Amino acid sequence: MNKHDRTDRFDPEVLRKAMSSITVTPRSDGSPVRKPGEMTEINRVARQTANRLSQESYSPTMIIGLLRLIEFVGLMIVGVVLYMLYVGFRTDMALVHYGPAILLGATTAVLLMQIADGYQVPALRNALGTLPKILTAWTAAFALMAVAGFFLQYGIQFSRVWFAAWYAAGIAFLVLNRNFIAFAIRRWARNGIMERRAVIVGGGEPAKALIRSIEQQSDNDIRICGIFDDRDERRSPPMVAGYPKLGNVDDLVTFARLARIDMLIIALPLNAENRVLELLKKLWILPLDIRLAAHANKLRFRPRSYSYVGSVPMLDIFDRPITDWDSVAKRGFDILFSLLAVAVLWPVMIATAIAIKLDSKGPVIFKQKRHGFNNEVVEVFKFRSMYTEASDPAAKKVVTKGDPRVTKVGRFIRKTSIDELPQFFNVLRGDLSLVGPRPHAVVAITQDKLFAEVVDGYFARHRVKPGVTGWAQINGWRGEIDNDDKIKQRTACDLYYIENWSLLFDLKILLLTPIRLLNTENAY
């Protein structure tokens, strides 16, 4: 067996499993190795770059999805308007004949345009070059409807003038819409609105070759934002192919939390296995797509392991969780069920507020800073359950059973989790999700150790928004964290949730939450 045969079985899963056993050794210069997720001070150029990239961009996937929706709705509106102008509004005909025909025609046209690659970014940029395929798809949709109407003896129900007018008006709509979209996409690309932002890990000739390969792809949507490398300037120059080296890998963790970055590309040879694993050990906690560049590698890989930037092959190591339309669906889920919860539970919240005011002096709402998405600090709302003078916003001391700091009302609302109800407003504000890893206090500790010191990869749970409830709570890991095993189990559940997320999974957790709350053993 030669080396090509051995490499043919490569799978990124091997890297993921290997990460769990790798040991990070001190650097050769004697400087300490920072903990995963620890924030560092980055240099002035890196901070300025991060500030420029602090606004989120729109991914091509989102833009293309919106375009499909716009063209589908637009073609339907054109058909309906022409029907009302020429045929007149007759409810029976609209429901039985014209309505389904318009829906079928618009749906078929969008599907055929998708099959003809009419929704690829290069096609959207080049409106004139793509119009023949788009108009052919629109014509084919009408031909299919005409044939179906003939064989089903359904065509007699329609006005031929309306049918021809819809076809002609549809052509005009598609021509105007495609030219407008092409202009908008070119403008968005120049302004950085529509792009995927990438940073490169690793400098020198491999990074230079990668950058040149990406830049040769005129239709790619990648914007290279900088380079990070642990090596000194002798081995890794401060400028590579016109892009600055912004710092080392520890600095990258801070940079990625300040900037809105989409992708991290590792430009290292595959035979540098230990170095790649050390990098992944630090970087997998970030909510980014992590790719290993394979453009210069001559070995053979499984086709399913590749993704492409233009024609540059990449090996997919980690994918950013809950992106694009999944994030839109999850946000809609959060808003819908949070509004329903507030509508149903407002009497409980009003009664709780009154009880707190009658029981002890101080505000009804307690605010605490906790870690949110991408390790950002968010302010989480709770009903106050402790005496005001004994409140602990920094959570330096864990609440224990029979804790004298907790009020009489506080004990009840903590056991029943009523104290968490104001977090529905955090969800509506966008700080939290309804379902996700529970947000922990910024300096939360167990046995005098920060959670990040106990659990390797702890900050990876911040790759998604924290939630009001979560998979860990469903599995009984709620309440006091008084030993290392509890935080390890919580984190394991959180990571399982992130890797297996779906709306059905969220719904399952949401439905199981009231049942699991009946177990109050660890809640006090």
Within 10 angstroms of residue 325's Cβ, the number of other Cβ atoms is 12
Q: pLDDT band at 109, cuts 50/70/90? A: very high
Residue-number span of the structural domain to which 123 is assigned: 60-191
281 Cβ contact partners less than 8 Å away, ≥ 6 residues apart: 19, 22, 24, 36
Does residue 441 sit in helix, strand or coil? strand
Q: pLDDT band at 29, cuts 50/70/90? A: very low
Cα torsion angle, 325, 326, 331, 337, sign = positive
pLDDT score of 15? 46
Do 334 and 468 belong to one domain?
Answer: yes
Q: CA 342, CA 421: separation in Å to the nearest integer?
A: 9
Do 269 and 347 belong to one domain?
Answer: no
Question: Does 91 have pLDDT greater than 60?
Answer: no
Rounded average pLDDT over 186-196 = 74
Do 168 and 283 belong to one domain?
Answer: no
Do 409 and 425 belong to one domain?
Answer: yes
Within 10 angstroms of residue 145's Cβ, the number of other Cβ atoms is 22
What are the start-end ranges of the E strands in 152-311?
196-201, 222-228, 239-240, 243-247, 263-266, 289-293, 306-309
Q: CA 58, CA 399: separation in Å to the nearest integer?
A: 43
Q: Look-up: residue for tokens 């056991």?
A: 415
Stretch (H or E) spanning 370: strand 365-371
233 Cβ contact partners less than 8 Å away, ≥ 6 residues apart: none
Do 381 and 479 belong to one domain?
Answer: yes
Structure tokens belonging to residue 500: 């297996």
Do 407 and 420 belong to one domain?
Answer: yes
523 found inside a domain: no
One-letter amino acid of 467:
G
Q: pLDDT band at 187, cuts 50/70/90? A: confident
Question: Does 14 have pLDDT greater than 50?
Answer: no
Do 290 and 349 belong to one domain?
Answer: no
Q: CA 206, CA 295: separation in Å to the nearest integer?
A: 9
521 found inside a domain: no
Q: Look-up: residue for tokens 């409980």?
A: 348
310 found inside a domain: yes
Do 199 and 187 belong to one domain?
Answer: no
What is the pTM assigned to this prediction? 0.73
The last residue of a domain, from among 191, 221, 242: 191
User: Vertex 46, ends 43 and 48: CA angle to 5°?
Assistant: 105
The last residue of a domain, from among 156, 191, 226: 191
* 452 and 488 Cβ atoms separated by less than 8 Å: no
Do 512 and 369 belong to one domain?
Answer: yes
pLDDT score of 383? 92
Count CA atoms closer than 13 A to 284's CA, side-chain side: 23
CA end-to-end distance (rounded Å), the chain: 62
- Here the CATH number for the domain that contains residue 244 is 3.40.50.20
Q: CA 98, CA 101: separation in Å to the nearest integer?
A: 5
* 124 and 64 Cβ atoms separated by less than 8 Å: yes
DSSP string for 360-419 = SSS-SEEEEEEE-GGG-EEEEEEE--B-GGG--TT--S---TT-TTB-HHHHHHHHTTGG
Structure tokens belonging to residue 254: 């801070």
Digit-coded pLDDT (tens) for 209-256: 888 888 887 666 788 888 888 877 777 788 888 888 888 888 888 888
Rounded average pLDDT over 135-140 = 92
Residue (of 130, 132, 309) closest to 219 by Cα position: 309
351 found inside a domain: yes
Q: Look-up: residue for tokens 């080396």?
A: 3
Structure tokens belonging to residue 46: 């890196």
Digit-coded pLDDT (tens) for 330-381: 999 999 999 999 999 999 999 999 999 998 888 999 988 888 888 888 899 9
309 found inside a domain: yes
* 266 and 290 Cβ atoms separated by less than 8 Å: yes
Rounded average pLDDT over 490-515 = 91
The last residue of a domain, from among 318, 339, 354: 318
- Could you tell me how far CA 170 lies from the centroid of its own chain? 35
Do 203 and 224 belong to one domain?
Answer: yes
Do 386 and 501 belong to one domain?
Answer: yes
Domain count, the chain: 3
Do 471 and 341 belong to one domain?
Answer: yes
Q: What is the rounded average pLDDT for all residues in the chain?
A: 79
User: Considering the chain, what percentage of its residues have pLDDT values greater than 90?
Assistant: 22
